[in-house]
Structure 1
Amino acid sequence: MSSVSDIAALDAKQQKYALLGFWLGGVVYGAYCILYGLSVKVTLETRRVHSTHSARVFPTVTLLIFILTTIYMGKRIHDLAASVPEKSPHIGLNAFRTLYAFSPQWTEDSGGQLPIYHIRDYTSSKGFTTMLLMSIIIWLGDALAIYRCFVIWDMNWLAVLLPIALLVLSIVNSTVVDVAHKLPGALPSQDVQALIGIVFPVNIAQSCLTTGLIVFRTWRQYRVSRAAGLNVHGRGIGLFTITRIIVESAMIFTVQQIIFPTQYVFNEILVPSIGCIFALMSIRVYGVKQELSTEVQLSHIYSGLSVRPDNLTEKGHPISHDGGRNHRRAASEALVFSRSGGSPTDHSDELVQDLGEAAKDSSKVLM
């Protein structure tokens, strides 16, 4: 049985982690606000091109995630600041009050209790609301990732059947855990601990499976584009780069659990980082597509300047001096530019359309 000194030392340690997690969460949330603002700009620019149903779903859900994250962060400030229940109605979202909650004055006013006791109290309405907000934000992030996978797989329900089943399991499991914290004694403590132990493994499995399906789809389209000879302009259609972006973004959630195994640190940075993942992915994929468009325009201009009158046959076709080594390049460029007849800008627009399913999938990733 733990002694009083051991319990006090554990409380003090958890309190330090809670304060560290709170400030780290604030830093991540600040970065999230900046990234979300940039992603909104990207959304407004791409909406001129993409007017599909999925192009409206992603901005709507990401906006909802941002609103709930903002409420959650404000709720955490309020929870940490509201050290005395009687004073809570008069305390706003004030960082100074948060510092007061961790000051010696708090210990005196609360009868010797540490702030960690208030933070760990999930039976109160404020504690339960905070925990429920975290669960909802995680569910929305998982659902949005599954929907992205669903769109990339051309609305194929079989492709996302298992991720949806894992999401449903996660929702049911997390709901039971939240209610068990709100109503202690409703379930045996052993059962509650067992349910808590599978919350994040289920989320990780669902996230890895969804990411794997997206990566497999984009990788397959990347190989199709290579086989068709459509990888002649720099990095081709950019699907390989987009795949890398998806994997790196999905790894954020897993790496957080490895680096921050402490509950209070992980919980505080988890919520704002979910929104950061989607915002950062949209910004990076948009950058790849913009770079691709520039490469296409420059490639077409240079290929046009390289054709001189003395290199033309009597029928007006350029003379080949490479012994057929560039036959595949010429064939692919003929395929890409066969329907174009305008300016270089027009050619780049038609290239994005003529890349077929591969280009379509890269656009779906951006939405």
Structure 2
Amino acid sequence: MPSSQIPLDRAYLTAIWLETLFYGINLLLFFSYLFIVRYKRRTSLSKIIVGVAIMMFLFSTVHVSLGFYRLVEGFIILRNPTEFFSDVSIPANVAKVTIHTVNSILGDSIMVWRCYNVWGQRWLPSILPILLIIASAVCGFGQAVIFAEARTTHSAFGSNLERWNGSLFSLSLATNVAVTSLIAARIWWVNRQFNILHDSSFKYRRVLILVIESGAIYSSALVIEITLYFLNNNAFYIIYDPIAQLTAIVPTMIIVLTSLGLTSADLNSEGQRTTRNRMTGLESRPQFAATGRGGNTLSSTGSTFPESEDHIGGPNADMVLKLKQKESAELVI
């Protein structure tokens, strides 16, 4: 064992502490979501999405409770934490692994739902992530069965578990990278096509929401997790347990953004309204018009556009045409 290796009991204690911290965030976010659904909702959500959010929170609660139970069992009751935590076949540990798998499937499904909506409710871009989720589910439940039968295995890095754990983590990472890339690419392309506002604060808001919507936080955590696992480093546990809360936090954040109307499409609509207001203001300003050869006269123009497209002409024609094109290209995300 390398000298830089973190002792298993210390790694597990740190992992549960971090998971409890993340659970506090999850708890606050979930009840904020319930309040938003009840009082502040701007857009309607299907009962399935609401049900999935509730299930993820309940599974997250059970997961952190089992972790605390194992903490008390290993450090206080048995007073032999290293041997206790290394036994992967303990029922509480098998239950945690199963719940982790279920929450990952639900969280990844929310991401695919987001991808489906971002791509204009087209299923084609979501086919690969769906297949990856199915493969992850098979490996996850298979992993739980192997853990339950591994009576003589006292390490999650055992050779008989490595192929299942490695496959599960790799497939989960591939799923999230695929969905993250699809969502981020689509939002970037739409924002680039619109190019509607040049306010820096607005751009920062778009970047923040893009990171949340695409699940980049979760994908980054998975990269760290899988790296530590294949390095056979006990620090893997410090990431593995808190990720069980991230699987609920990130999708719930996405649902909250959708409920509040703060998705990328809503920001695009906000930018379009701002652009439209600016154009209206330009139209309402006095303009100079040349009459005859000898001089110029001041004339005021109204703030309305021509009633018919056939009458659009002059310097405002391009602006009106671009505005109509942007409005017709707006996506419901």
TM-score, length basis structure 1: 0.66
Shift of 1:136: 0.9
Q: Would the alpha carbon gap of residues 312 and 274 (structure 1) be closer, same or farther in structure 2, given more than 3 Å must change?
A: farther
1:209–1:39 CA distance, 2 compared to 1 (3 A): same
Pick from 247, 250, 256 the counterpart of residue 277 of structure 1.
Answer: 250
Amino acid at match of 1:274: T
Q: Secondary structure at the match of 1:50?
A: coil
User: Partner of 2:331: helix, strand, or coil?
Assistant: helix
- State the 1:18 CA deviation: 0.8
One of 315, 320, 330 as aligned partner of 1:358: 330
Quick check: 1:266 aligned with 2:266?
no
Contact 1:21 1:269 in 2 (8 A): yes
- Name the structure 1 match of 2:174: 205
Alpha-carbon distance in structure 1 between the residues aligned to 2:211 and 2:86: 39
C-alpha RMSD of the superposition: 4.1
The runs of 5 or more residues in structure 2 that have no matched partner are 229-234, 290-298, 305-313
* 1:160 equivalent in alignment to 2:126: yes
Count of residues paired in the alignment: 300
SS in 2 for 1:360: coil
Aligned residue identity for 2:188: W
- Report 1:160-199 matches (<5 A): 160-184=126-150, 190-199=159-168
Q: Which amino acid aligns with 1:355?
A: E
Question: Is the CA contact 1:218–1:358 (under 8 Å) kept in the aligned structure 2?
Answer: no
Please give the alpha-carbon distance, in whole angstroms, between the structure 2 residues aligned to 1:18 and 1:216: 37
Query: 1:101-140 alignment to 2 at 5 Å?
Result: 101=75, 106=76, 110=78, 114-140=80-106
Q: C-alpha distance in 2, partners of 1:50/1:357?
A: 22
Alignment of 1:59-74 (within 5 A): 59-74=50-65
Change (3 A) 1:28 1:49: closer
User: What does residue 218 of structure 1 align with?
Assistant: 187
User: Residue by residue, what CA displacement relative to the aligned partner does 1:150-178 show, whole Å, maximum 9, x if unpaired?
Assistant: 33334433322221221111111122221
Q: Cα gap change, 1:202/1:293 in structure 2, threshold over 3 Å: closer, same or farther?
A: closer
Q: Contact 1:233/1:295 (CA < 8 Å) preserved in 2?
A: no
Alignment of 1:15 with 2:6, yes or no, is no
Distance change in 2, residues 1:46/1:215 (3 Å): farther
Match of 1:29 in 2: 23
- Identity %, equivalent residues: 16
CA distance in 1, matches of 2:30, 2:270: 25
| 8 Å Cα contact 2:191/2:268 also seen in 1 | no
TM-score of the two chains, using structure 2 as the length reference: 0.72
- Counterpart pick for 2:216 among 245, 250, 253: 250
**Counterpart of 1:344?**
none
Q: Deviation per CA, 1:310-360: give whole Å up to 9, x if none.
A: 4498794469xxxx7775444445x39xxxxxxxxxxxxxxxxx8345331
Q: Match of 2:69, as an amino acid?
A: H
Distance 2:169 2:285 in 1: 67
Q: Is the 8 A contact 1:142 1:167 kept in 2?
A: yes
Shift of 1:243: 3.4
In 2: Cα distance, 1:126 partner to 1:192 partner: 18
Distance apart, 1:201 and its partner CA: 1.2
Gaps of 5+ in 1: 84-100, 337-353, 362-367
Distance, in Å, in 2 between the alignment partners of 1:114 and 1:66 is 31
Change over 3 Å in CA distance of 1:266–1:300 after alignment to 2: same
Write the distance in 1 (CA, Å) between the matches of 2:329 and 2:50.
Answer: 23
Distance 1:57 1:356, change over 3 A: farther
- CA separation of 1:309/1:193 partners in 2, compared to 1, >3 Å: closer, same or farther? closer
CA distance, structure 2, for counterparts of residue 291 and residue 59 of structure 1? 23
Task: Supply the distance in 2 between the matched residues of 1:63 and 1:243 (Cα, whole angstroms).
Answer: 24
C-alpha distance in 1 between matches for 2:207 and 2:18: 33
Q: Distance in 2 between matches of 1:71 and 1:208?
A: 27
Aligned partner of residue 142 in structure 2, secondary structure: helix
Shift of 1:35: 2.3
Q: CA deviation at 1:291?
A: 6.3
Q: Which position in structure 1 is the counterpart of 2:309? A: none
Letter in 2 for 1:62: A
**Letter matched to residue 216 of structure 2:** A
